[in-house]
Structure 1
Amino acid sequence: MAWRAKQRAAALVDSPYFKLNATAKESKHDNDVVVLLYNDGYLVSGGDEGKIKIWTQDLDHVATIDAHPVNVYSLAVLGDTLYSCSNDGTLKAWNWGTWDLKKTILEKQQNDIIKVYTDDDKLYASNDQGELFVFEDEQLTASYYLHEDIADLLIIGSLVFNARNVDVSVTEMMGPPRYTYMSRGAMIGRFPIRRVGQYVCFLDRSARNIFVHMTSKEDKFKRVYHIKAHDMTISAMAALPGQEHIMVSGGFDRIIKAWDLNTSKNIGRIDVGVCINDICGGENGQVYISSNEGYLARLDCTFP
């Protein structure tokens, strides 16, 4: 029994492959940092006080945008434009670099705009009632009603992976002239949902374990791994830039873990001392993490 206890204690030692580097000290968000996005040398953070903040790679403050009167739910970037959405029912566009308002694309919506996403030069926005809006050149070209709430989504080509509380559904969007859609299947699972290398990853219903699935309908979205990941609720996942077969996860247990999706094995961990709200990739070998009380930090990862 003593030998087993020593084994467990050894397993809890922080990995030397993780280094907690820069942390934001000045001009922090007032409360929870809800969502992160990294693009072109800048980290963008959205808070539940409605502000968007811009940071350098080393987390020096650059600018603050008074974006929404309430929570910033999601961020995306396409070309020279940053997009944000909120439970104020708006989708807004901001000029990248000058950070001023370009236009309000959706406003006075009766439902919360939950997610904004970009893929293949298209902009997508979804609300909590299951509507998915598609924009090209910021003009609405199509809308789909998925008949179910959308907590998080991932878009790969014409496929929409919609993650809810108990299931993940896959819908294929059809193009012009009719812009219809077809259900391609459903899987047990819940949000968040992320693409990591060749796989799509989301949580099981307990929110403590991770399902790893194929991304194509030809593979029938087959489950590849069921990873027993954390002892408490997982809130965030991201691919590690430069090593996209490595997934980084974190949540309420205050521990960041790294997983090799070639083997499904845990290859590193670090106790960061805060509950994780979001994780996003930065430059190669770097991820950013956020928490409450304005906490932002960068992890440098040196996996062999």
Structure 2
Amino acid sequence: MTLIVACRASDDDKHYKDVNTLMFHKGKLYSASDDGKIKVWTTDLIKLAEIQGHTLPVYGLTASDDTLYSSSSDGTIKLYDLNTLQEKQQLTKNENVEHWRVRSVNGHLYVGDNEGNVSVYKNNKFFGLVNVAEPVKDLQVIEPYVLVVQDTDLVVTEVKLNGEKLQWSNDSNIPGRAPVTLIGSKYFALIDRDGKEILLHSTDRHSGFPQLAKIVHGSDNNMLINALSGVEWGEDKFLFSGGWDKVLRKWKIMNQSLSDEGSVNVDLVINAIAAGDTDQIYVGGSDGHIVRVDVR
């Protein structure tokens, strides 16, 4: 297979600082940056809308059926109308806390911060707090489990959402560092502690979330990996990776391992990756650039 850079956001429309996160949802791409702005794009990277969502960098985006959520180092979590980007609500504001990651799953909102807490909201109301002791650089959710990772370990926590109060307990610690991504419901991937190899794990709790494979990323000059994105296209499962070497790499899950499916230089340091429609991948990073890569 061949990976080809198909289109790029124009210099007039791109962010003017680094892109931190990308999200593809209901046929549109959403991006957020160190400039505090949130932008919406067509599949061909034509800008549809933008807002000054925050005063400081935006690190997390997620969405439900009708609401866009953003988290920022300015201490706020905000809700917007998914179509108009009109602000609907501010869940919290604490200038001493940086909210780094946010995930919406089954009507629950999970927010990870720099103080090692995951705040859980039900129906946009605070429900409880999970403390994982280390800053939350990335998180994924496979309810009832929350996967939280910083630089040395991924912590798997079981969260019980029934009843009037949240209950939680740490389940497992897995060596590794951010980022972490889900690949369908059976796999997740993260980076080893040195930041240069990809670790593929099973989501099977009964077998202890075992490691299935460890793959050398193959980047020039042994540079760090910054971003991972897993996707299911039809019956196939893929992982995309990238980082400081400016190369997007494609991997296919085969026989509980990762098979190299090709790469392309996107000419930007990769901070974020999001899977779009079948055979389309979006990459964002340095100096606000965003590109779409097609798989042919």
The question of whether the paired residues in 2 share the 8 Å contact of 1:172 and 1:184 is answered with yes
Q: Which deviations, in whole Å up to 9, do the C-alpha atoms of 1:125-156 show, x marking residues without a partner?
A: 12111221111221112222222321111110
Question: Which residue matches 1:288?
Answer: 282
Given the superposition, is the C-alpha separation of residues 286 and 240 from structure 1 closer, same or farther in structure 2, using an over 3 Å criterion? farther
1:223 aligns with 2:217: no
Which stretch of the first structure deviates more once superposed, 42-51 or 109-118? 109-118
The question of whether the paired residues in 2 share the 8 Å contact of 1:240 and 1:286 is answered with no
1:24 aligns with 2:32: no
The question of whether the paired residues in 2 share the 8 Å contact of 1:241 and 1:283 is answered with no
Q: Which has the higher strand share?
A: 2
Residues paired across the two proteins, number = 287
The question of whether the paired residues in 1 share the 8 Å contact of 2:127 and 2:166 is answered with no
Where does the alignment leave 5 or more consecutive residues of structure 2 unmatched?
none
In structure 2, what is the Cα distance between the partners aligned to 1:180 and 1:82? Answer: 27
Given the superposition, is the C-alpha separation of residues 277 and 254 from structure 1 closer, same or farther in structure 2, using an over 3 Å criterion? same
Partner residue of 1:214 out of 198, 202, 205: 202
1:200 aligns with 2:188: yes
Task: Report 1:105-144 matches (<5 A).
Answer: 105-144=91-130
In structure 1, what is the Cα distance between the partners aligned to 2:148 and 2:94? Answer: 24
Question: Which residue matches 1:272?
Answer: 266
| 1:280 aligned partner, one-letter code | A
TM-score (norm. length: structure 1):
0.91
In structure 1, what is the Cα distance between the partners aligned to 2:151 and 2:132? Answer: 15
The question of whether the paired residues in 2 share the 8 Å contact of 1:240 and 1:285 is answered with no
1:299 aligns with 2:263: no
1:287 to partner: Cα distance? 0.8
| Superposition RMSD in Å | 1.4
Question: Which residue matches 1:233?
Answer: 224
Identity %: 28
Secondary structure of the 2:250 match is strand
| 1:249 aligned partner, one-letter code | S
Q: Which deviations, in whole Å up to 9, do the C-alpha atoms of 1:213-268 show, x marking residues without a partner?
A: 11121121100000111321001111245155211111111111111221422111
The question of whether the paired residues in 1 share the 8 Å contact of 2:183 and 2:232 is answered with no
In structure 2, what is the Cα distance between the partners aligned to 1:103 and 1:177? Answer: 23
The question of whether the paired residues in 1 share the 8 Å contact of 2:231 and 2:239 is answered with yes
1:178 to partner: Cα distance? 4.2
In structure 1, what is the Cα distance between the partners aligned to 2:165 and 2:81? Answer: 33
1:195 to partner: Cα distance? 0.4
**Max radius of gyration: which structure?**
1
Secondary structure of the 1:293 match is helix
| 1:182 aligned partner, one-letter code | S
The question of whether the paired residues in 1 share the 8 Å contact of 2:97 and 2:113 is answered with yes
| 2:237 aligned partner, one-letter code | H
1:75 aligns with 2:69: no
The question of whether the paired residues in 1 share the 8 Å contact of 2:21 and 2:59 is answered with yes
The question of whether the paired residues in 2 share the 8 Å contact of 1:241 and 1:286 is answered with no
Secondary structure of the 1:69 match is coil
Q: Which deviations, in whole Å up to 9, do the C-alpha atoms of 1:71-119 show, x marking residues without a partner?
A: 0010000110000010000000010111111110111352111111111
In structure 2, what is the Cα distance between the partners aligned to 1:185 and 1:108? Answer: 30
1:248 aligns with 2:240: yes
Where does the alignment leave 5 or more consecutive residues of structure 1 unmatched?
1-15
Partner residue of 1:180 out of 146, 156, 167: 167
Task: Report 1:26-175 matches (<5 A).
Answer: 26-175=12-161
In structure 2, what is the Cα distance between the partners aligned to 1:137 and 1:178? Answer: 14
In structure 1, what is the Cα distance between the partners aligned to 2:68 and 2:165? Answer: 30
4+ residue runs of structure 1 moved beyond 6 angstroms?
Answer: none
In structure 1, what is the Cα distance between the partners aligned to 2:124 and 2:143? Answer: 18
Secondary structure of the 2:96 match is coil
| 1:152 aligned partner, one-letter code | D
